[in-house]
Every structure is written in structure tokens, then in C-alpha cells.
Amino acid sequence: MTTPHEALGIAEARSQLGTLVARAVHGHQPTTIRRSTTERAVLISEADYEELLRARRELEAGRVAEAIAAHSRGDRAMMTYDSKEALYADLDLPTPQ
């Protein structure tokens, strides 16, 4: 079995998938799976994924609220954006998929 900082190759992860899923669901222990040196994914429980999404939405809402407040104080000009990516980049947010 791996420690939380190790990454498993796809073949090894496949052979341990049931154990890795149980570890993610019941122990909230993520597993990094690598396909190559640049392609990596993390197996986490659905509950942990939902928590990650909730935290991301809170971050987004906070950044938007701060931008609105800054505009109201006169510290930020009103902006228009050509794309969602440009808006997220301006607010220093990760671009949603």
C-alpha cells in the first residue's frame, strides 16, 4: 500500500482499485495515480469531492464580493470581459472546467 505522498502507476492502481476506493471513502485518504510524469489524477471520495466543490464556490463568491466592494469604494473600475476565462483570471480564480 502507498503513503499519501506516493503516486501509483495505472496498472498498480487498477490491481488495488477496490482497496483504494474503500480507503478514499472510509478513511478519506486520497491516492495519486500517475499515467506519466505529467499526467496525474487523484482518487478521492465523493464526499471529499463535494467538499472541494463547496470550498471552490465559497472562494469564488468571496472574490466576487470583494471585487464588488472594491468597486463600491472606488478602488476598482467597472470591468467587462470577453470570456469567462478572462473574468476568472482577473479575480485570480482557477478556471472552471
- Which tops the pLDDT comparison, 79 or 54? 54
User: What is the Cα–Cα distance from 70 to 77, expressed in whole angstroms?
Assistant: 8
Model pTM? 0.71
User: What confidence score (pLDDT) does residue 44 get?
Assistant: 97
pLDDT tens-digit map of 4-13: 557 999 999 9
pLDDT tens-digit map of 59-95: 989 998 998 899 999 998 888 899 988 988 888 888 7
User: What is the Cα–Cα distance from 72 to 20, expressed in whole angstroms?
Assistant: 49
User: What confidence score (pLDDT) does residue 6 get?
Assistant: 72
